[in-house]
Amino acid sequence: MKHVYKATATKLPEGLQVETSSRNFKILYDEPKPMGGTDKGINPVEALLTSLGACQAIVVAAFADFHDFKYEGFHVEIEGDLDPDGFTGRNPEARKDLLKLDTKCILKQTNQKKKLKSLQIL
């Protein structure tokens, strides 16, 4: 079944703040002070990284539930490298996207090694 997701983003007057909303939820984005922001919220790159981590955690939880796979805990650590000189135009040679993305998934589980192999396809 297809789902249509909708969101809005509105630039606020202060610094680089942007208020986003989806359904009945709002998130304030900003940049750290050294990047010209007011540091009142996470920046879009941090939001992207946290969204990727949340997506992985939700998929693992749904997969585990569907396959009766028991685990004690799961968390994701994600790190991305970005050169802001690329998207600001200060350096036309610099890339405008993430240079590198590293993901580390930590699954704490009890004795279910056979079922763990099926989880590795995610």
Global pTM reads: 0.79
Taking the C-alpha atoms of residue 40 and residue 32, their distance in angstroms, rounded to an integer, is: 8
Judge whether residue 44 has pLDDT over 90. Answer: yes
- Give the single-character DSSP code of 42: B
pLDDT band at 56 (very low <50, low <70, confident <90, very high): very high
Task: Please report which confidence band the pLDDT of residue 59 belongs to, taking 50, 70 and 90 as the band edges.
Answer: very high
Mean pLDDT calculated for residue range 44-64: 93
Residue 119's pLDDT band, with cuts at 50, 70 and 90, is low
How high is the pLDDT of residue 87? 77
Which stretches does DSSP call E strand in 2-120?
8-11, 18-22, 25-29, 73-81, 100-108
State mean pLDDT over 62-70: 84
Tell me, what DSSP letter sits at residue 33?
G
What Cα–Cα distance (Å) separates residue 60 from each residue in 30, 46, 50? 30, 21, 15
Please, which residues have CB within 8 angstroms of residue 80's CB and are 6 or more apart in sequence?
Answer: 45, 48, 49, 98, 99, 100, 101, 102
Looking at residue 71, what is its pLDDT? 84
Whole-angstrom Cα distance, residue 26 to residue 21? 4
